[in-house]
């Protein structure tokens, strides 16, 4: 990673976000942590991490790392001690409960990855809770000692120079202590590929005391120079939770949901609904947006026909960078990478394996980054990679796109520079003024600057004209967009001139 930081800095971004690199059995790609304060040997050492921090800072990049407070690995020393008996010092560090009279689990809660969220442990003669894999037992974050230990891990990395945290699955971090059953979910017609999908997650997610822990977390990060924090939030009421987690100045700095990550289509209505849940009002928090990440299929493979992918990728990039809030890019998104089809015998994703073939594998977005078109494994490294490289990714490799003036990579660099140069795009208010089946128009405004952003999200040309009284200049445009004419999958940004 350190050797590739020049590429990241060359995009013009402010920071990098690293997914878990901590000591782990890797049953869930590092989200099953066995030691919060060390680097897994497959990635390097603490000394290597220090070098990465120093190099990133020298390039002007902040470093944000994942923190997983909901659960650990079953190989963590805390869990090994907790499961040894009911009266050891860490007996209450995880969520343990007695069986029902008939021996069945304490509640009907289901795991995200399939099957019951409870596993029997013969040593304690009790069930333990795991919202994900059985190898990922849930921490009892209601326990102040557990909160102290989680915050101590965060402090360890802050003192090592990290600039912020992405807080994973925080809405799973506390459960209902009364262990009440979840009610069935109303059938809204959405596909149900797992038992998890059949319940309303009233009691195993989104406990109101989570915000108290986040306030302690914010106090810690504020004491270390105001380190940045962003939460991932899913669940039945993500908008309410994101606002609760970010409200005021004593909780997290930002949050993002799955508005775009799991959406089957990118539509004006989807964008309008998502952005209007974050009004430009004091105390409502600051959103973050992502069209792709490590848990969702590549957007160009989800949202558009293959023949339109290049145009769509350019339009999508401009749109993301025009939204009010932080823009998050996933590795390879700046190249327009497509989803890789992974055969069953090469799958690594436990969720995809458990729910094959109905759940689209996360592996297809986690394939090696294509650095060099003609190198072994496209320059990712020697030997057999964890997942196969994409068959069509050589043509999108970094070295090829770097030398192509019209490449998505070079366009992305230019659009990020445009965002950085325009205060209204960075901090301005956003108002959607038009959103039909394909046309999306909104304004971004701040003292001294007003922008009009117009996009055609459809596959047929649309006419759109700014108001006759407006005087403007074009500061960004993709795919032939111009005042009066928005070709398929095009967009532009106009700056109003007084």
Which residues are marked as active site?
A: 168, 232
* Euclidean distance between CA atoms 72 and 389, whole angstroms: 30
Round to whole Å and give the CA distance between 230 and 246: 9
CA distances in angstroms from 11 to 56, 90, 211, 284, 368, listed in the order given: 13, 46, 35, 30, 19
Handedness of CA 487, 392, 376, 45 (dihedral sign): positive
- Which residues contact residue 366 at a Cβ distance below 8 angstroms, ignoring those fewer than 6 apart? 29, 294, 349, 387
Measured CA to CA, the distance from residue 50 to residue 52 in angstroms comes to: 5
Residues 6+ apart with CB under 8 A from 491: 315, 318, 319, 322, 453, 454, 455, 456, 477, 478, 479, 481
Could you tell me which of 149, 131, 145, 151 has the C-alpha nearest to residue 70?
Answer: 131
Peptide bond into 357 cis (omega under 30): yes
> CA–CA separation, 310 vs 336, rounded Å?
7
Distances (CA, A) of 178 to 105, 107, 196, 212: 14, 10, 20, 19
Q: 174, 157, 176, 223: which is closest to 71 by C-alpha?
A: 174
Number of residues that this document lists for the chain:
498
DSSP calls for 87-150: SSTTTTSB-EEPPPTTS--SS--B-TTSSBSEEEETTTTEEEE-SS-TTSPBB-TTSHHHHHHH
Q: Count other Cβ atoms within 10 Å, centred on residue 395.
A: 12
What are the b/e assignments for 41-52, b being 16+ CB within 10 Å?
A: eebeeeeebeeb
**Which element (helix H / strand E) includes 429?**
strand 429-435
**Distance, CA of 304 to CA of 439 (rounded, Å):** 16
Residue 214: which of 185, 244, 187 has the closest Cα? 244
**Bridge partner list, 65:** 18, 165
């Amino acid at each position: 990673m350190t050797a590739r930081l020049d590429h990241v800095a060359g995009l013009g971004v402010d920071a990098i976000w690293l997914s878990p690199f901590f000591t782990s059995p890797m049953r869930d790609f590092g989200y099953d942590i066995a030691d919060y304060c060390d680097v897994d040997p497959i990635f390097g050492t603490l000394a290597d991490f220090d070098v990465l921090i120093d190099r990133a800072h020298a390039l002007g990049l902040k470093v944000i790392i994942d923190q997983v407070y909901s659960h650990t690995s079953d190989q963590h020393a805390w869990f090994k001690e907790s499961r040894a008996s009911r009266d050891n010092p860490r007996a209450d560090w995880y969520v343990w409960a007695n069986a029902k009279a008939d021996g069945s689990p304490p509640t009907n809660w289901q795991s995200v990855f399939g099957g019951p969220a409870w596993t029997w442990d013969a040593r304690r003669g009790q069930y333990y809770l795991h919202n994900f894999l059985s190898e990922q037992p849930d921490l009892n974050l209601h326990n102040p000692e557990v909160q102290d230990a989680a915050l101590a891990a965060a402090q360890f990395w802050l003192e090592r120079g990290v600039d912020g945290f992405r807080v994973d699955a925080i809405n799973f971090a506390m459960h209902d202590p009364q262990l009440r059953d979840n009610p069935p979910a109303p059938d809204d017609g959405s596909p149900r590929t797992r038992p998890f999908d059949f319940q309303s997650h009233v009691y195993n997610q989104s406990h109101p005391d989570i915000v108290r822990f986040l306030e302690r977390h914010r106090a810690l990060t504020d004491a270390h120079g105001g380190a940045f924090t962003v939460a991932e939030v899913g669940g039945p009421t993500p908008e309410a939770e994101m606002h609760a987690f970010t409200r005021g100045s004593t909780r997290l700095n930002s949050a993002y949901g799955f508005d775009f990550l799991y959406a089957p289509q990118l539509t004006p209505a989807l964008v309008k609904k998502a952005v209007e849940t974050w009004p430009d009002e004091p105390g409502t928090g600051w959103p973050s947006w992502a069209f792709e990440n490590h848990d969702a299929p590549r957007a160009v493979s989800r949202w558009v026909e293959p023949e339109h992918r290049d145009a769509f990728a350019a339009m999508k990039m401009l749109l993301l960078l025009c939204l009010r809030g932080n823009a998050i890019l996933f590795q390879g998104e700046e190249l327009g990478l497509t989803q890789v089809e992974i055969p069953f015998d090469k799958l690594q994703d436990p969720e995809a394996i458990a729910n094959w073939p109905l759940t689209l594998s996360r592996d297809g977005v986690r394939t090696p980054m294509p650095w060099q078109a003609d190198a072994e494994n496209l320059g990712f490294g020697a030997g057999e990679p964890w997942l196969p490289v994409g068959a069509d990714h050589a043509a999108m490799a970094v070295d090829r796109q770097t030398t192509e003036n019209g490449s998505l990579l070079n366009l992305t660099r230019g659009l990020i520079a445009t965002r950085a140069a325009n205060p209204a795009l960075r901090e301005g208010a956003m108002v959607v003024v038009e959103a039909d089946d394909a046309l999306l128009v909104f304004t971004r405004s701040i003292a001294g600057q007003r922008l009009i952003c117009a996009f055609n999200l459809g596959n047929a040309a649309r006419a759109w004209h700014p108001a006759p009284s407006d005087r403007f200049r074009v500061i960004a445009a993709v795919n032939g967009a111009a005042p009066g004419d928005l070709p398929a999958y095009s967009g532009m940004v106009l700056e109003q001139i007084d």
